[in-house]
């Protein structure tokens, strides 16, 4: 999970660019007629997102004289289409993710823009920049048409949930066995409101962070085995623990990353540092 700054691109500029690509004069006139409605929806989105109440945004099926399919097509034909009239906006919003890392999982490569509130449920938000989040294919696919019915069902929003994203809640748990595996769960070290805890658990489940992180951990453990065996032979458990804590330090600015959770969990586990690393597959 990573926070992102709100896109600099405003709804008005994106809508103008989309409209410039519409050749059908009737559709052009109808979309123009609902601009005030889209503006109002954008304002409501901004207010609700700021207080984590996007679940209260009403779902709509039409917007004035414009149908859901036409608003979805406005996005598909003019914003996301490679040669769409507003494609520059799509590319700029997409490229705002540092290192092209998906802000939803922190692991995948950004490939698309994800509608935080899905376009088929909220057609009045199809081209709203603050509802468009850079994402990897996996996160985009799994979010799909899901939408929050309650406050706790809201997945984390990279533009608005900086406090929650920068609060520690991910934890690694070392499972002693042959082979050793590490599981990842939401277990905040400091108290969190029930709604926030439900939100991070929902985010983990929807974006599959537990599975992705566990797979990355297996790969990382494989690269560690020889080093830890050498360190253990020379300096015992203390040397192994010191090395793992040192690795964890590299990731302290990514509080819910798999790396920080993994290294801290391994360092804190007596069984692992006292020789459990021999059970790495
Ligand atoms: Zn992702």
Confidence tier at 281 by pLDDT (50, 70, 90): confident
Q: Are residues 79 and 173 in the same domain?
A: no
Please say if the pLDDT value at position 144 is more than 90: no
Distance 111 CA to ligand 1 centre (A): 9
If pLDDT is split at 50, 70 and 90, which confidence band does 115 have? Answer: very high
Range of the domain at 25: 11-148
Residue 5 lies in a domain: no
Domain C-terminal end among 117, 148, 179: 148
- Where residue 145 falls among pLDDT bands split at 50, 70, 90? confident
What is the whole-number distance in angstroms between the Cα of residue 88 and the centre of ligand 1? 22
Same domain, 126 and 33: yes
**The token pair that represents 5 in the structure block:** 């700054």
Spell out the residues 6+ positions from residue 82 whose beta carbon is closer than 8 angstroms to its own.
none
181 and 109 within one domain? no
Which of the four pLDDT bands, split at 50, 70 and 90, describes residue 156? very high
Q: Give me ligand 1 centre to Cα 141, in Å.
A: 9
Centroid of ligand 1 to alpha carbon of 101 (angstroms) = 8
Ligand 1 centroid distance, CA of 140 (Å): 7
Cβ density class 24-36: b for 16+ within 10 Å, e for less: eeebeebbeebee
Looking at the DSSP bridge assignments, the partners of residue 62 are 67
* Cα→Cα distances 159→94, 165, 241, Å: 13, 10, 36
Instruction: Please list, residue by residue across 232-270, b when 16 or more beta carbons sit within 10 angstroms of its beta carbon and e when fewer do.
Output: beeeebebbbebbeebbeebeebebbbbbbbbbbbbbbe
Rounded to an integer, what distance in angstroms lies between the CA atom of residue 240 and that of residue 275?
9
Rounded distance between C-alpha atoms, residue 251 and residue 3, angstroms: 15
192 Cα–ligand 1 center, Å = 24
**139 within 8 A of 146, measured Cβ to Cβ:** no
Same domain, yes or no: 23 and 130: yes
Q: Which of 115, 148, 181 is the last residue of a domain?
A: 148
Split into its structural domains, the chain has a count of 2
CA of 104 to the centre of ligand 1 (A): 5
Shortest CA distance to 187 belongs to which of 241, 263, 261, 260?
A: 261
81: CA distance to ligand 1 center in Å?
21
Query: How far is the centre of ligand 1, averaged over its atoms, from the C-alpha of 11 (Å)?
Result: 25
Do 207 and 263 share a domain, yes or no?
Answer: yes
Residue 19 Cα to ligand 1 middle (Å): 31
In a domain, 158, yes or no: no
Q: What is the pLDDT of residues 226-239, one digit of tens each?
A: 999 999 999 999 99
Residue 182 alpha carbon to ligand 1 centre in Å: 20
């Amino acid at each position: 999970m990573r926070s992102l700054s709100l896109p600099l691109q405003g709804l008005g500029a994106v809508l103008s660019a989309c409209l410039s690509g519409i050749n059908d004069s009737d559709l052009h006139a109808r979309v123009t007629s609902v601009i005030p409605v889209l503006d109002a929806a954008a304002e409501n989105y901004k207010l609700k997102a700021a207080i984590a109440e996007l679940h209260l945004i009403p779902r709509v099926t039409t917007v004035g004289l414009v149908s859901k399919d036409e608003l979805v097509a406005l996005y598909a034909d003019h914003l996301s289409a490679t040669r769409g009239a507003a494609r520059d906006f799509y590319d700029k919003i997409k490229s705002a993710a540092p290192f092209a890392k998906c802000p939803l999982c922190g692991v995948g490569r950004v490939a698309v823009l994800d509608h935080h509130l899905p376009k088929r449920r909220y057609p009045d938000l199809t081209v709203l920049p603050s509802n468009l989040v850079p994402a990897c294919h996996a996160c985009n696919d799994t979010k799909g048409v899901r939408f929050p019915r309650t406050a706790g069902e809201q997945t984390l929003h990279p533009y608005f949930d900086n406090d929650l994203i920068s609060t520690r809640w991910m934890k690694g748990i070392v499972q002693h066995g042959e082979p050793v595996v590490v599981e990842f769960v939401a277990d905040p070290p400091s108290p969190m409101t029930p709604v926030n805890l439900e939100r991070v658990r929902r985010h983990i489940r929807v974006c599959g962070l537990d599975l992705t992180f566990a797979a990355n951990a297996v790969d990382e453990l494989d690269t560690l085995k020889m080093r830890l065996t050498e360190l253990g032979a020379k300096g015992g458990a203390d040397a192994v623990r010191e090395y793992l804590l040192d690795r964890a330090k590299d990731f302290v600015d990514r509080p819910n990353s798999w790396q920080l959770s993994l290294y801290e969990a391994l360092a804190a586990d007596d069984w692992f540092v006292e020789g459990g690393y021999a059970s790495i597959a």
